A and B are shown apart, each in its own frame.
Chain A
Amino acid sequence: MDLGYVILASLKVIIHFVVLSPLGRATLRSIAETGDFTRFTARGFASAVGSRRLGRRLVRAVYEQGVRCIPVILIVGIFTGLVLGLQGYHTLRGFGATSLLGPLIANSLIRELAPVLAALMLVGQAGSALVAEIGIQRNSEQIDALETIGIDPYGFLVAPRLLAALLVFPIMTAFFALIGLVGGWISGSVLLPLPASVYWASVNASIDLADVGQSVLKALVFGALTIGLCCYNGFNAHRRSGATGARAVSASTTRAVVLSSVAVLASDYLITSLLV
């Protein structure tokens, strides 16, 4: 038999079994899971209708996702503004355009940085805690107990968190943008010689309602996506292959945080490309 033919046939087999087959399986699994996640999130929102005492659980979810995350949002927001101010001022000085520092910071924050970074911070603090809490509730049969009582676990556990995300993410994005602008002012006008009146006037003039709308839209999408992913991974912690008990909860938490972060950046690109 021809040696070249043997090598080619071997390569084909290797490519099939090592590359194409696993890739195909992973793709099919991802498609199935995306469908599963979409159904889960839709059911989570739908089950808010008729869920009793939803308000009390909603307040708790808003507190956990929002109030408890204010410090991290403020800290990251102010440092983002400080760095933007510093970098922006020295870059613009080269063009003699330091008066454009305000618009640079405002547009960067409102269009991109505030929704993206606020979402990533909320995933890191509130989302990870949420996955762990729901995962432990799954492991300790608390979710089964809700079902046996006749309580829809989607309405009880998922709906308030999803609704809270729709409230909290835009508000936290606004906080982030505002404190970021303050950071930019500290950098440009307190630490560097740009007059504060120039900075704030140019910020005021550059903020466009469409940009604010885009920022709110992004925050809403990021909120539904990330908190949906966190609820989904916690809810299905018992279905994780290769891990059980506490390890399944930790694996689900890691997975939810990674997927949420990727989802934020990917959907950010998608929304920006559609709206620009």
Chain B
Amino acid sequence: MSAPAASSSPLLSTRSLQKRFGEHVVLSDVSLEVARGEVLAIVGKSGTGKSVLLKCLARVLKPDSGSVLFDGQPLSRGQPEALAAFRRRCSYLFQGNALLDSLTAWENVALPLEQTTLIPKPEIRERVADALRRLELENDARRYPSQLSGGMQKRLALARALVTRPELVLFDEPTAGLDPLRRNAVFTLIAHARREFGFTAVLVTHDLPEALAACDHLAFLDRGRIHFAGTPEDFRATADPVVAAFRDSAAALARSVATLRAGGALEPAEDLG
């Protein structure tokens, strides 16, 4: 949970969000705020509900209780205008990219502009070409998503998410499955695009170093609850044992490997969630 911006109300907030699938409670009483212009990173172990939280924020999933507010307006099926305004101003980058496989790369990027705006065709062409060029996909415009590598698909999804120049972008594992170079490139692209378009972002990721470098605030989700919220400095400094175990997992791995090489025995593995 981020600190609210001093100058204005939060762009996106949730109040006591709850979501369960059958008997399994995935989110429990999640309240957070995302101030305008900031990047909020949501981190946590696998299976703690990060992607479900993001889908509830995007209204892809309907929360069982609690509310999501965008620019002060509640998002619900009973408020179609607020929901439509939210859709126009928000983009979502899916973990699996969710590119339309029957459309070419060009058509995928052009789709939001053609279907949801009244922008003239020449400008659409210009913006799509620009988005593809920025993401080094200009030579692949006629190819279908299935003909692109995983990294190229990710960049294509990023191009589609940013081509509408959204105010809010929800990133679900934007670097999942990418090599370290591509991972850094994607975070750099996000940082560039953010500087250029000034969007607000919510970022779900496992890449802690990159998240700490890219975010303004960070929320640590554990067992469906916000266990910790603060700045990257707070996160680095906290002595909370659950957060520390996650934060220091790389160091712990190095210690374990060193112990094994020295012929020692490992301590019992921690709960993997």
Question: Interface of A with B (CB < 8 Å)?
Answer: 52-53, 133, 136-137, 140-142, 144-151, 156
Known contacts A150-B84, A150-B88; A145/B115 CB under 8 A: no
Residues of B within 8 A of A147 (CB): 59-60, 87
Q: Is B99 an interface residue (CB 8 A)?
A: yes
Q: Closest Cβ of chain A: how far from B157's Cβ, in Å? A: 9
B112 A140 Cβ-Cβ under 8 A: no
CA distance A148 to B98 in the complex (A): 11
Known contacts A150-B84, A150-B88; A145/B114 CB under 8 A: no
CA distance A52 to B99 in the complex (A): 19
CA distance A147 to B91 in the complex (A): 10
Q: Is B137 an interface residue (CB 8 A)?
A: no
Chain A minimum-CB-distance residue to B83: A150
Chain B 81-117: CB-based contact to A (< 8 A → 1; otherwise 0): 0001001101110101011111000000001101110
A142 B100 Cβ-Cβ under 8 A: yes
B100 A148 Cβ-Cβ under 8 A: no
Q: List 12 A-B contacts (CB under 8 A).
A: A52-B115, A53-B114, A137-B101, A141-B94, A142-B101, A145-B92, A148-B58, A148-B87, A149-B111, A150-B84, A150-B115, A151-B115
- The listed residue with most B CB atoms (<10 A of its CB), out of A144, A148, A156, is A148
B115 is contacted by which of A137, A140, A148, A149 (Cβ under 8 Å)? Answer: A149
B90 is contacted by which of A136, A144, A148 (Cβ under 8 Å)? Answer: A148
CA distance A147 to B60 in the complex (A): 7
A151 is contacted by which of B58, B91, B92, B111 (Cβ under 8 Å)? Answer: B111
Residues of A within 8 A of B116 (CB): 149-151
B87 is contacted by which of A133, A137, A141, A150 (Cβ under 8 Å)? Answer: A150
Known contacts A148-B90, A150-B87, A150-B88; A140/B96 CB under 8 A: yes
Residues of B within 8 A of A150 (CB): 84, 87-88, 112, 115-116
B94 is contacted by which of A133, A136, A144, A151 (Cβ under 8 Å)? Answer: A144
B112 is contacted by which of A136, A141, A149 (Cβ under 8 Å)? Answer: A149
Residues of A within 8 A of B102 (CB): 133
CA distance A141 to B115 in the complex (A): 18
Residues of A within 8 A of B84 (CB): 150
CA distance A60 to B96 in the complex (A): 26
Residues of B within 8 A of A137 (CB): 100-101
CA distance A140 to B146 in the complex (A): 13
B111 A148 Cβ-Cβ under 8 A: no
CA distance A148 to B60 in the complex (A): 7
